[in-house]
A and B are shown apart, each in its own frame.
Chain A
Amino acid sequence: MNLQEIAEEKFGKDRAEELRFEIEQLAAEIEKLRSVPLDIDDEP
């Protein structure tokens, strides 16, 4: 499931639609984070 589908399940279709722009922004941010390789010394 993508984030939009998860949002529909959690908040209903109407609210998920209202959040579409923010969800797309969030998806882009997460994509960017995932594109950076981590190594063993990157502790949280």
Chain B
Amino acid sequence: MMNPEDFSLTEAASAIRAGTLSPVEYVEALFGVMERVESRVQAWVTIDRGGVLSEASKCEAEARSGEFRGPLHGVPVGIKDIFYTKGLRTTMGSAIFKDFVPNCDARAVTKLKEAGAIVLGKTVTTVFANLDPGPTRNPWNIEHTPGGSSSGSAAAVAARMCPAAIGTQTVGSVGRPAAFCGVASLVPSQQRISLEHVFPLAWSLDHAGTFARSVADLEVMLDAMAESPVERYPARAPFRIGVVRDFFYENATVEARSLNDRLAGDLAAAGFHVEEARLPEIFEVQQPILGTILRTETASIHERLFAEHAATYGPKLRTLIETGMLIDASDYVRARRLRRRYQREMAKLFQPFDVLMTPPARGAAPAGIGSTGDPVMNGPWTLTDFPTVTLPHALSADGLPIAVQLTGAPLQERLLLEVAKAIEAVVSFTARPNL
């Protein structure tokens, strides 16, 4: 029999429903993994073991009497430490909030609990979900960054400390750590998952996202957290994949480009319709649009806190806020207006394609934990608000995961997930970190 920690989320949920996996034994198995690896990975900020075991016991009793709260009944999940959790410390990765205990759950956490999930604990976020790193290390090689800002969520899923976790992405904070840690991730369109009681970095760019070890698991998590049902459409295989090279290949390592091209070739050989997609002219201003919106909104969010606690801010966030304070209203509005045009132009890319395919990072996770890597490959898609899935498909020469970033048309999460499942079946990525 498989070790419980190796179950995917859907396998664990099915086993609990079938009575072959006890929720208590499951969380105890995950605690056992934590005891073995957490001192090296450092993915967690707060875990209330007593509370988790008590909730697992309740789920177990309910399951025995045939009562199930929802599709995630008894399944433990990790929560990035910027989502409010009722009665459970929520630090935002900042000394300012080191003792903050919310009196309510974030809406997304409420939805997960309603679906039967157990909050296993709070995962490390970089300081206020920006670029100043936390202590988390990459489970594939602890001398390398796990990426960020959702560092702990990605690392915890990769290290088998939980089957799924949630995070947020304002530029590249889900896709990049997923790529570096070799797990699957989904960032749906902003309106799909509520950000109520999630500490913001930049309101108009912030997105909730999820990590798991299969695309099917991502879909279950999305359905559990979505504010309204995500539409289903008939699948239309053979799927049409647009490979976007341009900017993305200019910023990728030779190895990342080569492995991405190899994947495109494998998909074409497997029957996918694969062609190159070319970026529109307005793409040239995507970085100034993104940077102007990000700086201005972050400066506004932190206006009061920063005035009182500037010394506690990391250097990267401090610089972001201070430069944001220099931007005048007309330039911010200009950036917002150009963003709309950018979204319209980028959406036209999907006329001949179901999904677009790009590398999700420059290459494998960089060495060192002083930086979380560069979100340059994710920002263009976060700015569009198009849904993205990141999926590991290969290993670098150094034995670190290499992933692909798949982007769907606006609000087409279901089609994106269908294509991602089909690609997942072709790549059959089974490597795992050796901790």
In the complex the two chains form, what is the Cα distance from A26 to B337 in whole Å? 18
Q: Say whether B323 contacts A26, CB under 8 Å.
A: yes
Q: Are A42 and B326 in contact (CB under 8 A)?
A: no
B323 touches A23 (CB 8 A): yes
Cα distance, A22 to B326, chains bound together (Å)? 11
Q: Are A30 and B322 in contact (CB under 8 A)?
A: no
Residue-wise interface mask of A (14-44) relative to B, using a CB-CB cutoff of 8 A (1 in contact, 0 not): 0100010011001001101110101000111
- A30 to B, closest residue via Cβ: B331
Does B125 interact with chain A (Cβ within 8 Å)?
no
**B binding-site residues for A, Cβ under 8 Å:** 282, 284-285, 287-289, 291-292, 295, 319, 322-323, 325-327, 331, 333-341
Decide: A3 and B333 in contact? CB cutoff 8 A: no
Distance in angstroms from A31 CB to nearest chain B CB is 9
Residues of B within 8 A of A22 (CB): 319, 323
We find that the number of chain A residues with CB closer than 8 angstroms to chain B is 20
Number of A-B pairs, beta carbon distance below 8 Å? 59
**Chain A residues whose C-beta falls within 8 Å of the C-beta of B333 in the assembled complex:** 44
- CA–CA, A36 and B340, complex, Å: 13
Residues on the B chain within 8 Å of A29, using CB? 287-288, 291-292
CB contact between A36 and one of B285, B287, B292, B323 (< 8 Å): that residue: B285
Select B338's contact among A11, A15, A19, A42, beta carbons within 8 Å: A42
A26 to B296, CA, bound (A): 11
**Within the assembled complex, what's the spacing in Å between the Cα atoms of A22 and B331?**
17
In-complex Cβ contact of A19 among B323, B335, B337 (8 A)? B323
In this complex, which of A6, A10, A15, A30 has the most chain B Cβ atoms within 10 angstroms of its Cβ?
A30
Contacts of B327 in A (CB 8 A): 26, 30
Tell me which of B291, B326, B341 contacts A23 (CB under 8 A).
Answer: B326
Flag if A42 contacts B341 (CB, 8 Å): yes
Question: In chain B, what residue has the closest Cβ to A11?
Answer: B322
Which 10 A-B pairs have CB atoms at the shortest separation, nearest pair first? A44-B336, A29-B288, A42-B337, A32-B288, A44-B337, A33-B288, A26-B323, A3-B326, A30-B331, A22-B323
- Inter-chain contacts of B325 with A (CB < 8 A): 10
Q: Which residues of A contact B337 (CB under 8 A)?
A: 38, 42-44
Query: Which A residues touch B338, using CB under 8 A?
Result: 33, 36, 38, 42
* Pair B326/A26 contact, Cβ less than 8 Å: yes
Is B335 a contact of A33 with CB atoms below 8 Å? Answer: yes
